[in-house]
Amino acid sequence: MIKPHGADALKPLLVTDANERARLVAEAEKLPSLTLNSAAAANAVMLGGGYFTPLAGYMNVADAMSVATAMRTVDGLFWPVPVLNLAQNVDAIRGAKRIALRDPNVEGLPVIAIMDVDAIEEFTAEQIETITREVYGTLDPKHPGVAVFQGLGKYCVSGPIRVLNLSYFETDFPETFRTAVEIREEIGARGWEKVVAFQTRNPMHLAHEELCRMAQERLGADGIVVHMLLGQLKAGDIPADVRDACIRKMVDVYFPENTVMVNGYGFDMLYAGPREAVLHAVFRQNMGATHLIVGRDHAGVGSYYGPFDAQTIFDTLPADALDIEIFAADHTAWSKKLGKVVMMREAPDHAPEDFVMLSGTRVREMLEQGIAPPVEFSRPEVAEILMEYYQAEKKKSAA
């Protein structure tokens, strides 16, 4: 099986020994505490589950700036996006060497991790601007990732952590949320060697389904891991439970047994385009995938990135950066000429009208009205789930 990134074995920071965890939970109640923002809490979950192997905790200012500008930590580890614990106020933990980190996404603000504080530093406005520009490729405050990042705070609290739980993901998504450790174990149990990962924050339409098949067939892969984001999204994105139901229905009905795993991970979407695509590759390597499908406008939003920027960034990475490979995909759509889904670049004799193409707005309007999109666009079983969701949302907004 493919090795984890930067290590011979995964380094999950979740405390799994019940006695040790109970001891740390009791200790945490006596420590100064910091309530995390959602982004920092998501980083804790990813560190806890081994997805961010080999990191031991949150980065300091020097590492963050080095990662932002050179995609390497000060010590030389390849890493594409700073993993930070930013805060707007640190008065409660000033001078503390060991603190409790509280989860903002769970009622009662329970402790999610214990941290040994290496440093509490202050980012300058110029440094925040540099990170924003390098990671997101824009300073536009209308960009949803930029808006979130620049509102997190200027104080950088760095140091190693021990994770005590995995937030709401285990309880809210018990059938779907899995750590990198668990996914590696299941890949091994299935006997898969070559594994394709498909990233999604949306339900999968027919074109996405066929793209997974294309990748599996062309690479000769043993299986596919449909790996969905379960964390915070921007307004208007479809909730994780609805996406989960859609994807599971598609897999159950249309894929052979033991060819697809459906899992999810606990992270907040960055919408950082190319840089986020590379981060996706890092933690998919950690979970055991040998290939990652990178499609048109992967992890993008609006028109901030070129349609294939998330693919071409991999051409610029040093040879020793990653072991995982990408499957570079074009936009896929149903060809009226050929009667099947194709990558558009592989149909040079087609005009736009030869494809079944629907805008997201048009699809949403159809679903709200109880009209199923054409079968060339969406599986009817998936469309039914989405129609129920959109019609319920329409009723709520009208009430």
Query: Is the CB of residue 60 less than 8 Å from the CB of residue 123?
Result: no
Measured between alpha carbons, how far is 147 from 139 in angstroms, rounded to an integer? 9
From residue 52, give the alpha-carbon distance in Å to each of 58, 62, 77, 105, 152.
Answer: 11, 18, 12, 20, 21
For residue 55, count CB atoms less than 10 angstroms from its CB and return exposed for 0-12, middle for 13-18, buried for 19 or more. buried
Measured between alpha carbons, how far is 280 from 294 in angstroms, rounded to an integer? 9
Helix, strand and coil content of the chain, in percent to the nearest 5, comes to 40, 20, 45
Strand 325-328 to 291-294 pairing: parallel
Return the sign of the alpha-carbon dihedral for residues 73, 78, 79, 83. Answer: negative
Write down the catalytic residue from 21, 190, 202, 213. Answer: 202
Write down the catalytic residue from 201, 213, 248, 364. Answer: 201
Strand 155-163 to 119-122 pairing: antiparallel
Estimate to the nearest angstrom the gap between the alpha carbon of 332 and the chain centroid: 22
Count CB-CB contacts under 10 A for residue 297.
Answer: 18
Residues comprising the chain, all counted? 399
| Known active-site residue 202 | yes
Count CB-CB contacts under 10 A for residue 281.
Answer: 27
Supply the Cα-derived Rg of the chain in whole angstroms.
21
Measured between alpha carbons, how far is 124 from 254 in angstroms, rounded to an integer? 52
My answer on whether omega of the bond before 160 falls inside 30° of 0, hence cis, is no
252's CB contacts (< 8 A; 6+ apart) are: none
Catalytic residue ranges = 201-202
